[in-house]
Amino acid sequence: MLVIKSMNRSLFLKLLSAFIVFGTWELAGRIPVSYAFPTFFESMQALFAMTMDGSIFVAYAETLKPLTLGVAISAVSGIGLGLWIGLSSRFEWLFSPIFIVMQAAPLAALIPILVMAYGIGLTSKVFVVCIMAMPVIVLNTASAVRNTPTSIKDMGRSFLATDRDVILKIIIPAASPVIFSGLRLGISAGFIGAILSELKITPTGVGDIITYSRSIADYPSMYAAIFSIIVLAVLFLNGLERVENYLFEGNNRGYVSD
């Protein structure tokens, strides 16, 4: 342990935790805990094979359509709506219940209704992603906006900030840590929504690999597909965190009032 410099410690810990998780996976697959549970190496081999023959890329080209569209819509309109709700008490009364219901609704059970209304195409899948991703983004944004410390808003007004200045230069940056945590939660939920829609509406993309592999008992490929979507989600969330740190550097290190 002594040779590990503290700078590398966090990398070391990440590798250690990955080793433990994948090691446990490998062990569980070897015991095996279930006939349908492949080992880590089998899954990685399947992932490698899918990468080599290009099928995983074809699948992602399909899955990323509802995912990126849904996440983009949820992020932009979710933050917009959240700001609106947070800034005006009337809109909270009007909209908050909708999003609280959306957040609590058993989505899988509602999918048939969406399919009846919007068919089995892209629209329904985008809807599923949005229903998963949007509520937490909206609710987090709204509460963060409402909880902006009064004294920094007063400060802005006393130094002659216009309403626009107060929103852009004070409320949004002050709310950004909570907005970003809403985005992180919302986007992870969006990933779940994208796969869910491909399992429940029509099997396409990554959802198709999962469904198809399961039906022919090719469990390594099925787990490889699940693994790949998790990796993608983690990479995306890390990227989001970098954007946040870049935009609001001082926010990263605690608050003045701490």
Partner 1 sequence: MDTAVSVLNVTKNYGDVEALRDLSLDFPRGQLTSLLGPSGCGKTTLLKIIAGLLEPTAGNIEIDGKQITGPGEDRAFVFQDFALLPWANVLRNVSFGLELRGVAKSEREAIAEKYINNVGLTGFEKSYPHELSGGMRQRVGLARALSVDSKVLLLDEPFSAVDEQNRRKFQEDMLELVRNENKTFIFVTHSIEEAVYVSDQIAILLPRPSRVSEIIRPKGFRSAGVENIRRSKEYLDIVDQIWASLRNYVE
Within 10 angstroms of residue 251's Cβ, the number of other Cβ atoms is 15
Within 10 angstroms of residue 41's Cβ, the number of other Cβ atoms is 14
CA 175 to the chain's CA centroid: 19
CB of 117 to partner 1, least distance (A): 43
Interface with partner 1, residue 7, by CB under 8 A? no
| Closer Cβ to partner 1, 64 or 152, answer by number | 152
Quote the DSSP letter at residue 120: T
Cβ atoms of residues 93 and 149 within 8 Å: no
| Closer Cβ to partner 1, 97 or 149, answer by number | 149
| Closer Cβ to partner 1, 54 or 254, answer by number | 254
Structure tokens at 183: 């985005």
CB of 146 to partner 1, least distance (A): 18
Q: Is the dihedral of CA 128, 129, 130, 136 positive or negative?
A: positive
Quote the DSSP letter at residue 204: -
Interface with partner 1, residue 258, by CB under 8 A? yes
Q: Could you give the string, one character per residue 152-181, with x where binding to partner 1 holds by CB under 8 A and - elsewhere?
A: x-xxxxxxxx---x---xx--xx-x-----
Cβ atoms of residues 162 and 170 within 8 Å: no
Q: Could you give the string, one character per residue 68-107, with x where binding to partner 1 holds by CB under 8 A and - elsewhere?
A: ----------------------------------------
Structure tokens at 232: 């993608």
Apex CA 231: angle with CA 227 and CA 235, to 5°?
A: 175
Q: Which of residues 123-152 bind partner 1 (CB under 8 A)?
A: 149, 151-152
Interface with partner 1, residue 243, by CB under 8 A? no
Within 10 angstroms of residue 151's Cβ, the number of other Cβ atoms is 10
CB of 166 to partner 1, least distance (A): 9
CB of 233 to partner 1, least distance (A): 27
Q: What residues line the site for partner 1 (CB under 8 A)?
A: 149, 151-152, 154-161, 165, 169-170, 173-174, 176, 248-251, 253-258
